[in-house]
Structure 1
Amino acid sequence: MNISLKYAHVTVNDVDESLAFYRDALGLAVRNDVGSDGQRWVTLGSDAQPDLELVLSPPHAGRSQADGDAIQELLTKGVMPMLVFNTDDLDGTFEKLRASGAEVLQEPIDQPWGPRDCAFRDPSGNMIRINQG
């Protein structure tokens, strides 16, 4: 049996604002932009992983009001699960993200547990770590 990850969901406050980070700064390509019942989902991907898509959606998309409110509260606190990306040029990626105005949490360093990495917050407050590998 083969199994692989197809979609990873990222909750964002504003899909258009988040596209400036994920598409324009990180370089992911928009694969799908879907609207339904007043909500919107956008999927993005990388040529390096053609079968994996990142799904950007607001807290209330496809959820009850109470669930969306709870997720919005966690997003506002900045405690949603982080994403970890991999790049072959950490310093170049870091400079591109910093130049985009993204909030820097950690400049590139060699971590004691192995990877060289850096960290940012996306426009909604999600932590994004980037490893060089």
Structure 2
Amino acid sequence: MITNISLTTVYCLDQDATRDFYVDVLGFQPRMDAPMGPDARWVTVCHPNQPELEVTLMTPGPPLAPDAADFVRRQLEKGQMGGLGLRVDDCRKTHQELVEKGVEFLQEPADRPYGVEAVMRDNTGNWLVLVEPRDFEPADLA
């Protein structure tokens, strides 16, 4: 029986720099940093409020086929990869705090039927969505 989601992957170009961004800028905690063979590392972080969900910071490479890894790398370099949705308690305040830390936002906080949303990039170019949720009905999305 599946009990929860325990791991998700965010691709990056530099595991050290991306780990530092998630830890120093976003407030995540380092979880694992271990060699995986001669040319790879297993690097994970987690949010202190959700330690059961680890985010693997993975460079494009095996187990991806070479052409798939090249595609992911090109998408990262263009800033066209999705990343994570991050729940926040005050989107406008969190936005301001992250702007002060130099984070690039693609979308300023805006009211949506489901809450207040802002879209930012991590240091590799992955899109991260900040959402301050509110109750809504499916018809509100139409």
What band does the TM-score fall into relative to the shorter chain? 0.7 to 0.9
Q: Which one-letter code corresponds to 2:90 in the other structure?
A: D
Structure 1 unmatched runs, 5+: none
Structure 2 unmatched runs, 5+: 134-142
Q: Which one-letter code corresponds to 2:55 in the other structure?
A: L
- Give secondary structure in 2 for the equivalent of 1:105: strand
Task: Tell me the distance in 2 between the aligned counterparts of 1:132 and 1:98.
Answer: 17
Q: Are 1:54 and 2:25 an aligned pair?
A: no
Question: Which of these two proteins has the greater Rg computed from alpha carbons?
Answer: 2
TM-score by length of 2: 0.81
- Give secondary structure in 2 for the equivalent of 1:82: strand
The answer to whether the Cα contact below 8 Å between 2:10 and 2:83 also exists between their aligned partners in 1 is no
Instruction: Indicate the residue corresponding to 1:12 in structure 2.
Output: 12
Instruction: Indicate the residue corresponding to 2:140 in structure 1.
Output: none
Q: Are 1:84 and 2:78 an aligned pair?
A: no
Matches within 5 A, 1:53-132: 53-60=54-61, 62-111=63-112, 113-132=113-132
Instruction: Indicate the residue corresponding to 2:23 in structure 1.
Output: 23
Q: Aligned-pair RMSD on alpha carbons?
A: 1.8
Q: How many residues are aligned here? A: 132
TM-superposed deviation, 1:104: 1.3
The answer to whether the Cα contact below 8 Å between 2:104 and 2:121 also exists between their aligned partners in 1 is yes
The answer to whether the Cα contact below 8 Å between 1:40 and 1:61 also exists between their aligned partners in 2 is no
TM-superposed deviation, 1:13: 0.9
Task: Tell me the distance in 1 between the aligned counterparts of 2:66 and 2:90.
Answer: 41
TM-superposed deviation, 1:75: 1.9
TM-score by length of 1: 0.86
- Give secondary structure in 2 for the equivalent of 1:3: coil
TM-superposed deviation, 1:72: 0.9
Task: Tell me the distance in 1 between the aligned counterparts of 2:121 and 2:129.
Answer: 9
Q: Which one-letter code corresponds to 2:131 in the other structure?
A: N
What fraction of aligned residue pairs are identical, expressed as a percent?
32
